[in-house]
Amino acid sequence: MRVFFNTKQFVYTCGQKTFSQEISTLNRSEIYSRIYQDAADLGFTMVSDKTGIESVWYLNRTKEHDGDLEFWEFNPTPETLKKIPALRGHKVIIFND
């Protein structure tokens, strides 16, 4: 099952081209799922609150400190960048609070 978020669920920092939020604020047990049926890539779909356009984001990396997961970082898929070139250089960070 695909995971969906809305842009209004995140804080956007324009200068850093970053959408961010704490996992507890998202109030979800799952923040990602397989984004392609024929591949193991993990991520989610984000829907723009302003336009309704969907963008797909893949899990790029996680960061740990002293054995604790600090955050998940997602980037737009190549297909999304073809559809929405303005997202180039953007990322989504979900903090594990």
Q: Domain range holding 84?
A: 4-95
User: Is residue 94 packed enough to be buried (19+ CB in 10 Å), middle (13-18) or exposed (0-12)?
Assistant: buried
CA angle 69, 74, 75 (to 5 degrees): 155
Domain total of the chain: 1
Please write the tens of the pLDDT for every residue from 49-81. 999 999 999 999 999 999 999 999 999 999 999
Task: Tell me if 9 sits within 8 A of 31, measured CB to CB.
Answer: no
Please write the tens of the pLDDT for every residue from 33-53. 999 888 889 999 999 999 999
For residues 68-97, average pLDDT: 97
Q: What is the pTM of this model?
A: 0.94
Please write the tens of the pLDDT for every residue from 11-41. 999 999 999 999 999 998 899 999 988 888 9
Task: Tell me if 2 sits within 8 A of 35, measured CB to CB.
Answer: yes
